[in-house]
Structure 1
Amino acid sequence: MRGDLELRADLKYGSIPRLVRAAVERHGPREAVIDGRIRLSYAELGARVERAAAACIASGVAAGDRVAVWAPNTADWIVSALGAVTAGAVLVPVNTRFKGAEAAYVLRRTRAKILFITGTFLGTSYVASLRRAAHEGEGRGPLPGLEHLQRVVVLSDDAPADFTTWKEFLAEGADVPADAVRARADALPPDAPSDILFTSGTTGHPKGAVITHAQTLRAYGVWSELAGLRASDRYLIINPFFHTFGYKAGIIACLLRGATMVPQSVFSVPAALARIAAERISVLPGPPTLHQQLLDHPARDRHDLSALRLVVTGAAVVPLELVERLRGELKVSTVLTAYGLSESSGIVTMCRRGDPPEAVAATSGRALPGTEVRVVGPDGRPAAPGTPGEVLVRGYHVMSGYFEDPAATARAVTPDGWLHTGDVGVLDADGNLRITDRIKDMFIVGGFNAYPAEIEQLLGRHPEIADVAVVGIPDPRLGEVGKAYAVRRPRSSLSADDLIAWSRREMANYKVPREVEFVAELPRNAAGKVLKGRLREGGSRPGAQPGGSRPGVQS
Structure 2
Amino acid sequence: MTEAVEDSYIRMVRRVAHLRPEATALLIGDDRRTYGALLDNAGIRARELKVLGLGAGDRLGILMPTSVDFVEIMIGAAMIGVVTVPMNTRFKTIETRHIIVDSGMAAIYTTDAIDDVVNFAELLASALPGLETQTDAGALAIDGVPGLRAIVQIGAPRPAFVEAAALRDRALALPLPDEGEAPAATAPFLLMYTSGTTANPKACILSSRAFLSTAARLAERYAIGERDIWWCPLPMFHVGGIIFMSLVLSRGGFYIGMRHFTPDAAFDLVERFRPTVLYPLFPPITLAIMDHPRFAKADFGSARYVFSVAPPDVQMKIQTAFPTATLCSAFGLTEACGAVTFSPPDDSAEDRLTTCGTPLPGWDVRIVDPETQQPAGPGQPGEIEIRGVGLFDGYFGDAGLTAAAFTPDGFCRTGDIGSVDPGGRLRFHGRFKDQLKVGGENVSALEVESFLCSHPAVKQAQVVGAPDERYGEVVAAFIELMSGAELSADDVLAYCAGKIARYKIPRYLRFVQDWPMSATKVQKHRLRDRIAAELAAGHG
TM-score (norm 2): 0.79
CA gap 1:422/1:161 in 2 versus in 1, 3 angstroms? same
Over 3 Å counting, the alpha-carbon distance change for 1:470 and 1:90 in structure 2 is farther
Q: Does 1:280 align with 2:279?
A: no
Which of 357, 364, 377 matches 1:365? 357
Partner of 1:94: 87
1:282/1:196 CA distance change after superposition, 3 Å:
same
Residue type matched to 1:194 in 2? F
Contact 1:202-1:440 at 8 Å conserved across structures? no
Deviation at 1:121, TM superposition (A): 4.8
Give the deviation of 1:181 after TM superposition.
4.1
Task: Please identify runs of 4+ aligned residues in structure 1 that moved more than 6 A.
Answer: 442-445, 469-472, 503-509
Q: CA-to-partner distance for each residue in 1:137-180, whole Å, 9 max, x for gaps?
A: 9x97575443321111123x2131211233333222112212x3
Indicate how the Cα distance of structure 1 residues 423 and 472 shifts in structure 2: closer, same or farther if over 3 A, else same: farther
State how 1:123-142 maps to structure 2 within 5 Å. 123-135=117-129
Structure 1 residues 65-464: aligned runs within 5 Å? 65-119=58-112, 120-121=114-115, 123-135=117-129, 143-155=142-154, 157-178=155-176, 180-185=177-182, 188-199=183-194, 204-249=199-244, 251-286=245-280, 287-314=282-309, 319-328=314-323, 331-332=324-325, 334-377=326-369, 378-441=371-434
Give the C-alpha shift of residue 298 in structure 1: 1.4
1:225 Cα offset (Å)? 1.7
Q: Deviations over 1:334-362 (max 9, x none)?
A: 32111111112211111111111111111
Residue 40 to residue 470, structure 1, CA distance change in 2 (3 Å): farther
The question of whether the paired residues in 2 share the 8 Å contact of 1:93 and 1:241 is answered with yes
**Aligned equivalents of 2:218 and 2:103: distance in 1?**
29
Over 3 Å counting, the alpha-carbon distance change for 1:407 and 1:370 in structure 2 is same
1:192: how far off?
A: 0.5
Change (3 A) 1:113 1:407: same
Q: What secondary structure is seen at the aligned counterpart in 2 of 1:285?
A: strand
Tell me the matched-pair count.
Answer: 468
**Alignment equivalent of 1:475, drawn from 479, 504, 509:** 479
Q: Which runs of 5+ in 1 are unaligned?
A: 453-468, 479-499, 521-540, 550-555
Tell me by how many angstroms 1:508 deviates: 11
Deviations 1:87-117 (A, max 9, x none): 2111111111111321121111011111111
**Residue 29 of structure 2 contacts residue 259 of structure 2 at CA under 8 Å; is this kept in 1?**
no
Q: State the shift of 1:247 in Å.
A: 0.6
Kindly provide the amino acid, as one letter, of the partner of residue 52 in structure 1: R
Aligned-residue offset at 1:201: 6.8
Shift of 1:200: 5.8
User: Percent identical across equivalent pairs?
Assistant: 27
Q: Does the CA contact (< 8 Å) of 1:190 and 1:213 recur in 2?
A: yes
Distance (Å, rounded) in 2 between the aligned partners of 1:131 and 1:298: 41
Question: How many Å apart are 1:441 and its aligned residue?
Answer: 4.0
Deviation at 1:66, TM superposition (A): 0.6
Mapped contact 1:227–1:336 kept (Cα < 8 A): no
Aligned equivalent of 1:532: none
Amino acid in structure 1 at the alignment position of 2:117: G
- Compared CA separation, residues 201 and 162, structure 1 to 2 (3 A): closer
Is the deviation greater in 288-297 or in 211-220?
288-297
Task: Tell me: CA distance 1:514–1:204, structure 2 relative to 1, closer, same or farther (3 Å).
Answer: closer
| Cα distance in 2 between the residues matched to 1:37 and 1:265 | 10
Residue 437 of structure 1 aligns with an amino acid whose one-letter code is G
Deviation at 1:321, TM superposition (A): 2.1
CA contact (8 A) 1:337 1:350 kept: yes
Match of 1:513 in 2: 526
Residues 55 and 170, structure 1, Cα contact 8 Å, conserved in 2: yes
- Give 5+ residue unaligned stretches, structure 2: 135-139, 436-444, 450-461, 465-472, 483-511
- Residues 354 and 504 of structure 1, relative CA distance in 2, 3 Å threshold: closer
Which range is displaced more, 62-71 or 278-287?
278-287
Does structure 2 retain, via aligned residues, the 8 Å contact 1:101–1:130? no
RMSD over aligned CA atoms reads: 3.4
Q: Residue type matched to 1:182 in 2?
A: E
Task: Please report how far the alpha carbon of residue 399 of structure 1 lies from its aligned counterpart in structure 2 after TM superposition.
Answer: 1.3
**Is the CA contact (8 Å cut-off) linking 1:131 and 1:143 kept in structure 2?**
no
Which residue does the alignment assign to 1:456? none
Deviation at 1:299, TM superposition (A): 1.5
User: Residue 151 of structure 2: SS of its match in structure 1?
Assistant: strand
Match of 2:494 in 1: none
Counterpart in the other structure of 2:536 = 545
Q: Which string of whole-angstrom CA distances, capped at 9 and with x for unpartnered residues, describes residues 366-406 of structure 1? A: 11111111111121111111111000111222211110111
CA separation of 1:514 and 1:391: change in aligned 2, threshold 3 A: closer
Q: Deviations over 1:294-343 (max 9, x none)?
A: 22321224444332222222266563423432442xx22x3211111111
Task: Determine the structure 2 residue equivalent to 1:523.
Answer: none
Secondary structure of the residue that 2:78 maps to in structure 1?
A: helix
The verdict on how the C-alpha distance between 1:510 and 1:36 changes in structure 2, with shifts beyond 3 A counting, is same
- Rounded to whole Å, the distance in 2 between the matches of 1:504 and 1:339 is 23
Structure 1 residues 171, 508: CA separation in 2 closer, same or farther (over 3 Å shift)? Answer: farther
Q: Give the TM-score normalised by the residue count of structure 1.
A: 0.77
